[in-house]
A and B are shown apart, each in its own frame.
Chain A
Amino acid sequence: MRRTAVALAATLILTGCGANDPKAAEGGDSGGKGGKLTILSASTDINFDPAKSQNLAITTLGLVLRRLTTWDIQAGKEATVVPDLATDTGTSSDGGKTWTYTLKDGLFYPDGSPITTADVKYGLERSFAAELSGGLGYHKGLLVGGGDYKGPYTGGELASIETPDAKTIVFKLNAPYGDWPWIASMPAFAPVPKAKDDPKTYTQNPVASGPYQVASYQQGTSVVLKRNPKWDAATDTVRAAGPDEVVFQLGQDATVAAQRLIADSGDDKFAFGAGFVPPAQLVQIESNASAKQRLVTSDAGALAYLAINTQRGPLKDVKVRQALQYAVDKKAFQVASGGAVGGDIATTLITPGIAGRQEYDLYPADPSGDAEKAKQLLTEAGQSKLSLVLLSENDPQSLAQAQAIQQGIQRAGITVTIKPADENTVIEQTTGDKPDYDLAISSWQPDFPSANGNIQPLFGTSEIGGGGYNISRYSVPEVDTLIGQALGETDAAKAQALWAQADKRILQDAPVVPLIYTKNSFLHGSNVKDFFVAAFPAYPNYLKVTLSN
């Protein structure tokens, strides 16, 4: 699951608040084939090893590596899982414990050799090696025998992945898992030919299955992708593969990158920024008509929320937690997050853009909160002098947000002390086994766009401590049962209904206060076309970008 680093956020497309380039959303003004696309990135390296990567399916890694399934992300539409190397998103049997995939025809590596299911199996196996840890590893706990398997270098093969022939692959799971088609879109499901596997260099020199291959890799400076001649557009429904060449300029200062894109001269006309536009430049862009046209704000996406530690003193009382629902000033939090471009007011746990989401509001009140109602609930709970500790990251933006929360809650007569700490310490505190906080502000964007990703990692009993993100430390057997049911449901529609039910059920216990659905803003050059940012994931879809000729 992805914890968004900065809480900026988004609007629900269905409500018509989308800030995407309207023309792009309509599908008009598309670019064509060819050209050199430049992507300005703040990070200093790109990890192409599928075992170690945590990349989204629609960004860098998706240009080079294909997986069994992938995401179809389009502006204004909910994210869906679609076949990539496989012919479908998976056929389940044995009540959802066995999943079978068949590869499409006409799939080749750049050297002309065919892509086989053995390569997919090998790619997954190597992701178990300690040497290659660090990636998205949801499959590791699901596959039979995955808990003890040490990878192909020392541990032989993993029996629960079967490849009866070069086109077929079968996965045996410990328990039914309805979201397996999403799991099959993770980087580790990309094929790795065993003969070409050099674990030391694979991160810079992966064997391409997508439309591009790595042509040059200069650590810290730039990565250049060129076309993979053996990639066949006919086998691929999600990749437009517009530019002939994609250049990543690494280690770019966010401010300078934004200035370059605002200036929009030379090669920068064919560039976009991979990072969020800094607040100061957002203001600058307001008064720059040309740049304003090229600013794309995502639809409302990741959830920012106030976690309530349900295992601490008075907070064990659901009445007190419900009082907090009313006491919090979501409006003030939104202002502290950058106002309307920062995000939309949130009331649910499942975020916009996720299939099956149902909108509701259990604690209806003005976005600024209802202090009277909160006081009333507190009186009912017999709590008059409550004093709470709010854990916050210590950057200016987080502190401003924490102060907005503090001021809101204090209206209900509750004393709130802000405890600032650096990002790593906050993570350690909230996901570790020694929690020392009453409240914590967090935000959450799932690693794959299923409602599952909004619920299970944040509210399952198994996710408390030990690195898990259930930072409310919320544990209700009824909810765990519901989650188990939903996880095992292979019928997508039924599963979605179960997740929506869980969403509401959890908020009845008020372990968190949903604050806003955050939005992210990105800037692109004037010759970059088909550039949009959906609700999930709230990042540009690299796969669709084209250049005007």
Chain B
Amino acid sequence: MTTLRFLGLRLLGMAGTLLVISVLTYAVFYLLPTDPAMLSCGKPCTPARLAEASAFMGYDKPWWAQYLDFLAGIVTGRHFGSGLAAVDCAAPCFGFSFRLNTPVTELILDRAPVTFSIAAGAAVLWLIIGVSAGVAAAVKRGTAVDRSAMLLSTVGVSAPSYLVGLLGILLFGFTLDMVPVGGYVPFTESPVDWLWHLVLPWTVLALLSAAIYARLTRGQMIEVLGEDYIRTARAKGLRERRVIGRHALRNVLIPVITVFGLDLGSLLGGAVITERVFSMQGLGALLIDAVNTVDLPVIVGVTLFSALLVIVANFAVDLVYSALDPRVSR
């Protein structure tokens, strides 16, 4: 089996998964008691006006017909209405938000950098903090270092992120006035401000997730340190730092990276609570808004995009996994 064939099969599988998710999303939202056209009906909403809005947005068709329109739109783009006021949604069109008057594709591309900035920075931080803490706790097992790290991680695992975010804002934003209390500045606008605005959200997210990773790493590390090849490494005369940092860590990272990839994948789809607390308009905020206003095209679009990210993360995890662990062959 060639690598190309393998990739092809995987991509087909991914596309299939997305297709199933999109069908489900459509079906589920069609079952909702609320008519999405109500959103654009205006006041007073007479039945005639509702029917008009419904027809314009394409909600008057049965759900499978809407779904087929949606699929066709990805390839060919879509048009709503006619004449001067017609709405264009260029291919690849993943729907059009009539509430925000913007194609969903554009919305996602617009919001994704915010979420990606939050997620990527936080993920790097929590991986570093979590793995270091876990390694330290495992190596110093049973000592004060271990106990305090695990106590902190218990706190971290059980703390609600909204609360920790608020406390962070109150302490570092208001009381100490060290960082901005919210908002997002694009990297392209000012890298310094970008970083400055993200420090707090990163830290809050990272500390909470690091707790889980510290526990995971500690458990794995303790297990790996009991392996024969660690004894072999020591018998070779390697320094302890190299035994831990190379021989043990590489094996510990294999399961950690798996979990990490999936966590990152789902976080990239929207850091809902963090975005909300820090007033950052990422994908999570977009989705929550869309759900609250029954903005069906945005709901479907963001859900699909999140699913895509998780699937891609899965794929990436598999690639990294086979790079880290030679025993895994394709």
Contact = CB atoms under 8 A, between A and B. Distances in A.
A130 B174 contact: no
A424 B85 contact: no
Contact of B50 (A129, A251, A467): A467
Contact of B42 (A131, A135, A251, A255): A135
Given A151-B85, A153-B83, A467-B47, A250 B281 contact: yes
Interface in A138-187: 138, 140-141, 147, 151, 153-154
Interface of A: 1-2, 44-45, 47, 49, 52, 54, 126, 129-138, 140-141, 147, 151, 153-154, 197, 199-200, 203-204, 219-221, 249-253, 255-257, 259-260, 263, 265, 424-425, 427-428, 447, 457, 466-468
27 contacts: A44-B289, A45-B99, A131-B56, A131-B85, A133-B42, A133-B53, A134-B39, A134-B42, A135-B43, A136-B42, A136-B43, A137-B43, A137-B49, A154-B82, A197-B84, A200-B87, A200-B101, A204-B101, A220-B110, A221-B281, A251-B279, A251-B280, A255-B166, A256-B277, A263-B174, A447-B43, A467-B47
Contact of A252 (B42, B84, B98, B182): B182
B85 A265 contact: no
B276 interface: yes
Chain B CB count within 10 A is highest, among A49, A131, A140, for A131
Chain A CB count within 10 A is highest, among B33, B86, B98, B169, for B33
B174 A137 contact: no
A-B pairs with the 10 shortest C-beta distances? A220-B281, A153-B83, A424-B34, A131-B85, A467-B45, A130-B56, A199-B85, A131-B81, A134-B40, A153-B85
B170 interface: yes
Contacts of B169: 256, 259
B328 interface: no
B100 interface: yes
A249 B34 contact: no
Contact of B33 (A45, A138, A147, A428): A428
Contacts of A263: 174
Interface string B97-121: 0111110000100110000000000
A219 B81 contact: no
B181 A256 contact: yes
Contact of A130 (B55, B184, B278): B55
Given A153-B85, A249-B183, A131 B102 contact: no
B307 interface: no
B100 A45 contact: yes
B285 interface: yes
A466 B35 CA distance: 12
A542 B9 CA distance: 59
A427 B223 CA distance: 57
B174 A44 contact: no
Nearest to B277: A253
B88 interface: yes
B6 to A, nearest CB: 40
Contacts of A424: 32-34, 294
B33 A203 contact: no
Interface in B237-289: 276-281, 285-286, 289
A54 B81 contact: no
A54 B53 CA distance: 16
Contacts of B101: 47, 49, 52, 200, 203-204
Nearest to A201: B101
A54 B48 CA distance: 19
Nearest to B47: A466
B48 A147 contact: yes
B129 interface: no
Contacts of B49: 133, 137, 140
B180 to A, nearest CB: 10
Nearest to A43: B289
B81 A130 contact: yes
Contacts of A468: 44
Contacts of B83: 153-154
Contact of A219 (B33, B35, B102, B183): B102
A214 to B, nearest CB: 14
A154 B41 CA distance: 19
A199 to B, nearest CB: 4
Contacts of B53: 130, 133-134
B318 interface: no
Nearest to A197: B84
B286 A134 contact: no
A396 to B, nearest CB: 16
B52 interface: yes
Interface string B47-69: 11110110110000000000000
B187 interface: no
A408 B285 CA distance: 40
B177 interface: yes
B100 A219 contact: yes
A137 B49 CA distance: 10
A424 B170 CA distance: 34
Contacts of B48: 147
Contacts of A154: 82-83
Nearest to A467: B45
Contacts of A197: 84
Nearest to B100: A45
Nearest to B281: A220
Contacts of A253: 182, 276-279
Nearest to B37: A133
B46 interface: yes
A368 B283 CA distance: 47
Contacts of A129: 81, 85
Contacts of A137: 42-44, 49
Nearest to B83: A153
Given A133-B41, A428-B33, 11 more contacts: A52-B42, A130-B53, A133-B40, A203-B101, A219-B107, A220-B286, A221-B183, A256-B166, A256-B182, A424-B34, A466-B46
B279 A256 contact: yes
B196 interface: no
Contact of A259 (B82, B174, B289, B294): B174
Nearest to A251: B281
Contacts of A251: 279-281, 285
A44 B81 contact: no
Contacts of B166: 255-256, 259
Contacts of B38: 427, 467
Interface in B159-191: 166, 169-170, 174, 177, 181-184
Contacts of A457: 44
